[in-house]
Amino acid sequence: MAAPLSDGDRRKQISVRGIAGLGDVAEVRKSFNRHLHFTLVKDRNVATPRDYYFALAHTVRDHLVGRWIRTQQHYYERDPKRIYYLSLEFYMGRTLQNTMVNLGLQNACDEAIYQLGLDLEELEEIEEDAGLGNGGLGRLAACFLDSMATLGLAAYGYGIRYEFGIFNQKIVDGWQVEEADDWLRYGNPWEKARPEYMLPVHFYGRVEHTADGVKWIDTQVVLAMPYDTPVPGYKNNTVNTMRLWSAKAPNDFNLQEFNMGDYIEAVLDRNLAENISRVLYPNDNFFEGKELRLKQEYFVVAATLQDIIRRFKSSKFGCRDPVRTCFETFPDKVAIQLNDTHPALSIPELMRILVDVEKVDWDKAWEITKRTCAYTNHTVLPEALERWPVSMFEKLLPRHLEIIYALNQMHLDRVAALYPGDIDRLRRMSVIEEGDCKRINMAHLCVIGSHAVNGVARIHSDIVKNSVFKDFYELEPEKFQNKTNGITPRRWLLLCNPGLADIIAEKIGEGFITDLSQLKKLLEFIDNETFIRDVAKVKQENKLKFAAYLEEHYKVKINPMSMFDVQVKRIHEYKRQLLNCLHAITLYNRIRCNPSKSFVPRTIMIGGKAAPGYHMAKMIIKLITSVGEVINNDPYVGDKLKVIFLENYRVSLAEKVIPAADLSQQISTAGTEASGTGNMKFMVNGALTIGTMDGANVEMAEEAGEENLFIFGMRVEDVEALDRKGYNAREFYERLPELRQAIDQITSGFFSPRDPGCFKDVVNMLMYHDRFKVFADYEAYIKCQGQVDQLFMDPREWTRKVIRNIACSGKFSSDRTITEYAREIWGVEPSATAIPPPNLPRN
Q: Which residues are catalytic?
A: 378, 569-570, 575, 677, 681
The residues, ordered by sequence, that sit 6+ positions from 90 with a Cβ below 8 Å of its Cβ are 130, 132, 133, 138, 141, 142, 145, 157, 159, 242, 244
Q: Is the Cβ–Cβ distance between 152 and 831 less than 8 Å?
A: yes
Q: Is the Cβ–Cβ distance between 234 and 332 less than 8 Å?
A: no
In the chain, the N- to C-terminal Cα span, in Å, equals 46
Dihedral, CA atoms, 622, 626, 628, 633, nearest 10 degrees?
Answer: 160
What's the rounded Cα separation, in Å, for the pair 809 and 686?
10
Assign 224 to helix, strand or coil.
strand
Is the Cα dihedral 89, 271, 390, 301 positive or negative? Answer: negative
Q: φ, ψ for residue 505 (rounded to 5)? A: -60, -35
Q: Is the Cβ–Cβ distance between 674 and 460 less than 8 Å?
A: yes
C-alpha pair distances (Å), 549 with each of 1, 10, 79, 546, 600: 7, 21, 48, 5, 23
Instruction: Give exposure, 582-615, as e/b (b: 16+ Cβ within 10 Å).
Output: bbbbbbbebbeeeeeeebbbbbbbbbbbbbeebe
Q: φ, ψ for residue 104 (rounded to 5)? A: 70, 30
What's the rounded Cα separation, in Å, for the pair 644 and 632?
9
Task: Identify the DSSP state of 524.
Answer: G
Is the Cα dihedral 523, 526, 529, 534 positive or negative? Answer: positive
Q: Roughly what angle, to the nearest 10 degrees, separates helices 106-115 and 22-42?
A: 60
Rounded to an integer, what is the distance from CA 555 to the centroid of its chain? 29
Q: Is the Cβ–Cβ distance between 727 and 773 less than 8 Å?
A: yes
Count the residues in the chain. Answer: 843
Q: Are strands 82-86 and 155-160 parallel, antiparallel or unpaired?
A: parallel
What's the rounded Cα separation, in Å, for the pair 59 and 357?
45
H helical segments located in 13-135: 22-42, 49-78, 96-103, 106-115, 120-124
Assign 682 to helix, strand or coil.
helix
Task: Give the H/E segment covering residue 567.
Answer: strand 563-568
Q: Are strands 175-179 and 168-172 parallel, antiparallel or unpaired?
A: antiparallel
Assign 242 to helix, strand or coil.
strand
Task: Identify the DSSP state of 196.
Answer: G
Nearest to residue 706, comparing CAs of 565, 781, 811, 804?
Answer: 804
Q: Is the Cβ–Cβ distance between 348 and 403 less than 8 Å?
A: yes
Rounded to an integer, what is the distance from CA 645 to the centroid of its chain? 21
